[in-house]
Amino acid sequence: MISTLKTLIEQNKVTEVLQKKSSHKQAIKALQQSLYELGFGKEIQWGKFGADGDYGGATTAAVKAFAEKAGIATNGEAVSNELAEAIVQHHEMVEGLRELKTAVEKGNVEKVMTRGSSHKSTIVALQRLLNALGYGEELKWEKFGADGDYGGATTAAVAALAQKEGLSSDGTRVTEELAKKILEKHTALLGSEWEKAEAIPTSASTESRRRGQSEYEKLFPVSKRDTLAIQDEFNGKYNFEPLAHEIPGDEFKMEFLQVTKKDGDASYYFPEGHPNNSRKDKIVLHFTAGQILGDFRALTQKDREVSTAFLVGRDGTAYKLFDSVKAWSYHLGKDSMGGNTSMSSSSVGIEISNWGPLKEDRAGNLVTWDHGHWFCTLDQTEAYVKLSKPFRGAHYFAAITPHQYESIIILLRYLTQTLGIEANFLPKGKRQELFASHNAAKAFKGICCHVNFRSSGKWDLPEEAFDWDKVIEGVTGSFTPALPQGPRTRSIFSIPQVVSEEEVLEKLKGLDYGDQDISKYGEDGPEVDI
């Protein structure tokens, strides 16, 4: 419901819609629900009225109470743009405050909020809270945002806050005292009932629950969260060209959407001829923890040079972001086994879009780890994998879809055949373990995962949540696609043009690759959050 307030802000219609005696009941319900979740249930008389869409005395009292906390003058009878923006900003902090308060209560703040921590959701919460307190510059917010990686930028922000509060800290970990200071500063702006006011499902998710439809099921045959969403959101900035490559020895082709930016920017990867480019002898699978639109943005950031050659959507669409043979980009991260530059430039990265770790709510549902968005019910077992033992604290992970498995197999068959990469896999039981040494990482030739190079820094996917047997059989044995190929809707894709890698490179001439100076990152390249 907070999205309704955001829309009103964007349209500059806040005061027109959110005022006493207004007839815009749905928008007022969104306001009432947001105020309740911010802890002003007492003022809004939530137990008596709930979100009734009537901007009366109770809503007026709640608006006024929040405004006083935020330092905004109002009689409560109307909501200004400034006040709506403050509601949105503080609402986005509540879930993070719950994460932080839980860590304080458990006495493990310094354990989970430390440099290199694998507790990504807690670090995301910390980063958002620090940014809201004015430490965006130290966090390099415009570049990294809340990426869940407690690296140099987060260290600088924590150190700056500690110094301002007169506490001793080098920023490499959050002490319990500092965590309490963060809580104190943020909760002073919330209502007295913020801790017990749980987020209420939107009407859309309520309807999905009523029908028993999971996010997994919504993707077929196509979802607005996937291929169409990419095209709708980015058509003004990106080109999507339907192409296909021949696969030696196979009757089917590897279909994909070739992605380029309309402004010519290609600075998220290093092109043909870059001095650090190497012959590819590995394929590294990555797994995201979010929706594909966020994945897409992360992989095409200007002047970042952190990306993967391919992104596979949950509907099976393969997006080709750059040439897999003669180009490369950082995709493993600093301190990776074998070296970030060496291993990134000699491997092909494939990002598999996935909702990642899930957690149980109090009503028999699974929700997303970071934001608590409803994903499916516990009885929809096709939508998730329950682990026999937790991976980085999570017992549940969203399932890789059947369409993704087929696209991954087809893509791996293409890459192993055309690049001469061995169809070699790590043995069972070793597929989520770190390589034993730098030499072991360099010596391995074949198909592995990001988690084999780094033990922290992102979620990744545990071995038990990925059907390795299906993939190995599909790549090494005979295989015939059983599902529609390529992007899963012919209204987008129709019949692709078959091209060679050389023809693709010809199409990419004249792009802007930025300064291409890897020395700006230091010896072992940048941190990554993909």
Position 381 in a domain: no
| End residue of a domain, out of 169, 187, 205 | 187
Q: What average pLDDT does range 454-459 have in this prediction? A: 75
Give the single-character DSSP code of 521: G
Q: How many residues does the chain have?
A: 530
pLDDT score recorded for residue 422: 95
| Residues 473/455, Cβ–Cβ less than 8 Å | no
Position 387 in a domain: no
Above 50 in pLDDT, residue 440?
Answer: yes
Same domain, 243 and 271: yes
Position 369 in a domain: no
Position 395 in a domain: no
Above 60 in pLDDT, residue 214?
Answer: no
By three-state DSSP, how is residue 253 classified? strand
Same domain, 417 and 516: yes
pLDDT score recorded for residue 236: 65
Q: What average pLDDT does range 74-85 have in this prediction? A: 92
pLDDT score recorded for residue 235: 55
Amino acid at 407: S
Within the chain, what is the greatest distance between any pair of CA atoms?
Answer: 74
Same domain, 517 and 477: yes
117, two tokens:
């921590």
Taking only the tens place, the pLDDT of each residue in 266-281 is: 999 999 888 888 999 9
What is the domain range of residue 14?
2-79
pLDDT score recorded for residue 49: 84
Position 412 in a domain: yes
Same domain, 418 and 498: yes
Same domain, 43 and 142: no
Position 239 in a domain: yes
Q: Which residues contact 93 (CB under 8 A, 6 or more apart)?
A: 128, 129, 132, 186
Mean per-residue pLDDT over the chain, rounded: 85
- In this structure, the number of other CB atoms found within 10 A of the CB of residue 227 comes to 27
| End residue of a domain, out of 79, 98, 123 | 79
Same domain, 281 and 305: yes
Same domain, 132 and 245: no
Query: H/E/C letters for each residue in 270-339?
Result: ECCCCCCCCCCCEEEEEECCCCHHHHHHHHCCCCCCECCCEEECCCCCEEECCCCCCCECECCCCCCCCC
Taking only the tens place, the pLDDT of each residue in 506-524 is: 888 889 999 888 888 888 8
Same domain, 36 and 121: no
Taking only the tens place, the pLDDT of each residue in 192-208 is: 888 766 544 443 344 34
Position 526 in a domain: no
Q: Which residues contact 17 (CB under 8 A, 6 or more apart)?
A: 8, 24, 27, 28
The angle formed by the CA atoms of residues 87, 89 and 95, to the nearest 5 degrees, is 100
Q: Which residues contact 104 (CB under 8 A, 6 or more apart)?
A: 176, 179, 180, 183
| End residue of a domain, out of 170, 187, 204 | 187
Domain count, the chain: 3
pLDDT score recorded for residue 59: 93
Taking only the tens place, the pLDDT of each residue in 38-73 is: 888 889 988 788 888 899 999 999 999 999 988 999
Distances (CA, A) of 396 to 213, 389, 448: 18, 10, 22
| Residues 102/359, Cβ–Cβ less than 8 Å | no
Taking only the tens place, the pLDDT of each residue in 125-148 is: 888 889 888 898 999 988 888 888
Same domain, 127 and 43: no
pLDDT score recorded for residue 202: 40
Same domain, 256 and 142: no
pLDDT category of residue 293 using cuts at 50, 70 and 90: confident
Same domain, 143 and 248: no
Same domain, 167 and 266: no
pLDDT score recorded for residue 225: 45
pLDDT score recorded for residue 457: 63
What's 502's domain CATH number? 3.40.80.10
pLDDT score recorded for residue 230: 52
pLDDT category of residue 375 using cuts at 50, 70 and 90: confident
Directed axis angle between helix 176-187 and helix 81-106, to 10°? 150
Position 11 in a domain: yes
